[in-house]
Structure 1
Amino acid sequence: MTETTIETDFTHDPDAKSWVESANGHPAFPVQNLPLGIFSPKDGGARGGIAIGDMILDLADIAGLLELEAATAARLAGQSTLNDLLDRGADSLRALRQGVFKLLTDDDKKTAVEPALHKAKDCKLHVPVTVGDYTDFYSGIHHAENIGALFRPDNPLLPNYKYVPIGYHGRSSSIRLSGVDVKRPSGQKKPPEDGAQPPFGPSARLDYELEMAIWVGKGNALGHPIPIGEAEEHIAGISILNDWSARDIQAWEYQPLGPFLAKNFHSSISPWIVTIDALAPFRTAQPARPEGDPKPLDYLFDERDQATGAFGITMEVFIATEKMRQDGDEPHRLSTGPMTAMYWTAAQLVAHHSVGGCNLRSGDLLGTGTLTSGDEGGEGSLIELTEGGKKSITLPNGETRTFLEDGDEVIITAFAEKDGFARIGLGECRAVITG
């Protein structure tokens, strides 16, 4: 088994302070985070940056202040996507993180670095990579059980679920950044009775999905699977994902080949990639499988991955209706849950994806699937919260919802915190539904 580096280092020191004042105590982007993204300042084109407090650091501008691999990485980040940087691998990302951390915590470097900082509110953010391929998994077992119970009450989980990380090939061309409106899709829906003609029109059961995005860093060659013990070396980091779903279209089309038009119209991602190294303090053991569940097959099992392969990340989803925004009401939290709701680890998803010889490439996106906690208040979608649309939700202002209506805004946030370490955030993933 090849060891992966997940130990903490000086960049995780909770007492570390930056001369960038807004970073100190920042709920998402303190100096202990340093997530990667692509931004455009007022006076320039798209290039790589790091979020630090309320600012964005232009990486290419400070490449000359770094050494060796960190300098190379910073120069690669000067491009309009992060693909080449991610493809360079975990060691390069770590060198960049450590080099930037030193610059941002050394008061003597302030004069040299400060001109490369831009106010985040004045910048435009972009999808951080060119996404060549997008695979959405179904690793949230509580969600799978809940959805299965709606369609197959007597057999919610199919026999393969606990052996195979289930996934489908999504549509990379319709991945958009947080903040881009989601146009309600149209399609065929299940007819009211067998043999009748299916109705066609806008989806009336539009839903969100509370997910996380796993970004592939270094790829693999076609025909050369990634062993489970090395899989983590191919993961660059994590973002927030909302894989919007048209449940009425999905119910009609999903058999026999799975999701198609119900999923391919729009997927939203947060703009910042929080690196594996930044998440080192928040690594945790994969939850033990219930008694009687099968042990993963050998190509999916690694003792170290089971001990440290899960992430202690908390996710929250909020809704702000058009009326709520007009009235100045705060968004209402619909649910919250942990990323540890995954039945499979991120490394297992990578190993399984490549085991048949598939070549993953830098910037490929792997969705976790909807992550439902298994507890009340931890449902990862409206179809679960409303029991398939049978039970409406009453919002604090008296409005009700079964599924999303035009003008509704969905906001997903995520963060990691643990005693003895600085809290870090993954930003937010939001979008408004339009007709």
Structure 2
Amino acid sequence: MRDWAARNTVSLTDINDLYIFLDEAFLGEKKRIAHIYMKLFGKQICFVEKTEFADIRLKFLSELDDTFVIESAEKIVISADNPLIAFRGMMYVVQQVKIGRKIQSGKFCERLTDRIIMLDIGRKYFSLPTLCQILEQMALYGFNFLQLHFSENEGFRIESEKYPQLVSENFLTKNEIKELIAYATFLSIEIIPDIDTPGHMDQLLKEYPEWQLTIEKSQMEIAKVPSALDITNEEAVAFVLSLYDEYLTLFEDSRYFHIGADEFIDFNQIKQYPSLADEGIKKVESYVNTIANFVKARGFTPRVWNDAFFRKGKTSTLTKEVEITYWTKWQKEMAPLQIFLDEGYSVINFNDNYLYYVLGENAGYTYPTAAKIKQQWHPNLFSSGQQVPLENQTQMKGAALAVWCDKPAAKTEKDIVVELTKLMEGFSSHFHEIK
């Protein structure tokens, strides 16, 4: 038996066999613990029937409330009150051993309810095996949501039976998505589907120029905006609703559906868009509410980006049914985080200053590092240095590490998996408060 307390660090390179004892309440976790360990490290776990032979014991303790307790001495004891928390406690210990860090004893309480990886698979195709590898790393580091951004100006990468002509050359079939959902469920990770409208729609509108928004460039010139939907055109809105409708059953086990609503138009030039010249902001909000209510009626909580709402300190008719994924305040006209909190919205931290991994370092972004995320960011720190006050803490639901594929060729799928895994390690250091 290893004396864990006597050594400062133990790494998986030192361990040929890991002996684990599971209390009866956790026997159902044997399969996925063994599966993840083999997938990530190519080694088998040995499950023993007597505690004295174990390096690690998963112990049932009924009084714990969705937390796990680690005791590190001659052996490691992970106590939990339910199988999922026991699995996450085990994954926490394995990740610490993986990176050669001394196992810390204490009570581990979750600081973030939603721990998200977001992948822009609209701009760049990710194969099913790559997505499964990412899910495995997510399970190791304690993430519980994978947001798949299917649609972008450059691509639409999910099979469509209604609109096959809009699907990119490389895409995920619905059967592949079902397989991905099943694997994610096995690892206690939930998929968040993400289809972005009414902006970022070049690919979706390429066959329907009549549904593209128009802009008046001069008194004599009116042009189409290929990426923007004419939200005042009833046929255009019906098309979008039918597109969302196609995927509501496929993702019926998901709680959230991200409907976009970012970077639609230049709001400072709204009068140049003829159909939006009169009360354009209200028309945008009405459109977003229509989509939000549509997915809400089918059992999803809709999520939207922050940049289009409450601009310049003005009021908004945005439905309270949505949750806000707050990513930026790069324009002074964009609403500060506090407005959304004061209005009662739940918020998710997509801080683009720290948590955006943008391929090719496009749009002025630089690649984040695990050290910077670990040392300089914290869950309450939103974009532009904004923070959530103590009285609004219950509205802060989680945080996300986002991969944006602005320049798809800048990194291979393998590169992204390797680098994203390092970032997961830094990000996950904020997942628990140790008491």
Taking structure 1 as the reference length, the TM-score comes to 0.23
Structure whose alpha-carbon radius of gyration is higher: 2
User: More relative contact order in 1 or in 2 (CA 8 Å, sep 6+)?
Assistant: 1
Taking structure 2 as the reference length, the TM-score comes to 0.23
